[in-house]
Amino acid sequence: MTGAASGIGLALSARFARAGARVVMADIAGDALHHRAAELTAQGAQVTAVTADLTDPDTVARLADTAFGLLGDIDVVCNNAGVIGPVGQPLWEVPLARMRQVFEVNHWAHLLVARAFVPRLLERGRPAHLIHTASMSAFVVGAGSAAYAASKHADLAIARSLRADLRGTAVRVSVLCPGRVDTPMVHGLTAPRDAGGDTSVSADDVARLVGDALGSDRFYLFSNPDAPLRLRDQFDDVRRHVSLPPPSPEEELCPEPKATTAAMKQ
């Protein structure tokens, strides 16, 4: 479990631990991580906290060694580390260093974790499930959100590629696309125009959604009730810009029904 010191990662860790699973919790925020792990341990959970900079390939490789060494077989990998980064600034004003930092955590860390864990999961040949935390920002982009939205688009592409690569194997992939979630990461944050959506859910709600999807073939996991409308608006906008080809001869054989004379007169 990456990004496990707070928010969705902590909620997922707690849910799995309370269900009897042994959990390896990883985060760069070591003090907060160990504090939360100690709280779960006091409640009877079997958790291990590992402070890790997931943007470093060697560190991620050691995390995989630790996780497989402690757990033996792994059933679920939650690729959940993430940062918001700069918001409210147009693309040309975002410092490049901040843009790179967001990509390092939201995209490259997820890629490194997948590369470290998936081959070992395949070697074991057992059913396993990889959860990638992307965002509704992988679909819906507002003003002033270039760094975060671009990184989440990249992570969606990684998840979709993994889904294709792993088809026919025992390893399933899902991409988690939450809208606004009530976590410390967004406290005090004013969402960029058109980026935040109109609803908010709790981290526990998101963890419940993930738990219900494990072992299934559900790929897209949307947590917020306004997701269907937000997605419809996005894809309607795409369709408006698509030049449709002329109908094929087969389509001409079954033309669209035309209005009757009576209806046209009304």
Cβ-based neighbours of 64, under 8 Å, separated by 6 or more: 113, 116, 117, 120
The count of residues in the chain is 266
Cβ-based neighbours of 87, under 8 Å, separated by 6 or more: 144, 145, 148, 189, 190, 191, 192, 195
Residues 78, 2 contacting (CB under 8 angstroms): yes
Q: Nearest Cα to 4, choosing from 163, 117, 175, 131? A: 131
Question: What does the alpha-carbon distance between residue 132 and residue 250 come to, in Å, rounded to a whole number?
Answer: 41
Kindly list the distances between the CA atom of residue 32 and the CA atoms of 6, 28, 35, in Å, as whole numbers in the listed order. Answer: 8, 9, 5
Is residue 34 classed as helix, strand or coil in its secondary structure? helix
Other C-beta atoms closer than 10 Å to the C-beta of 244 total: 6
Question: What does the alpha-carbon distance between residue 90 and residue 142 come to, in Å, rounded to a whole number?
Answer: 10
Look at phi and psi of residue 220 and say left if phi exceeds 0, alpha if psi is from -120 to 50, else beta: beta
Cβ-based neighbours of 79, under 8 Å, separated by 6 or more: 2, 109, 110, 113, 114, 130, 131, 132, 133
Annotated active-site residue 148? The verdict is yes
Residues 132, 175 contacting (CB under 8 angstroms): yes
- From the candidates 68, 139, 148, 222, give the one annotated as an active-site residue: 148
Annotated catalytic sites, by residue? Answer: 148
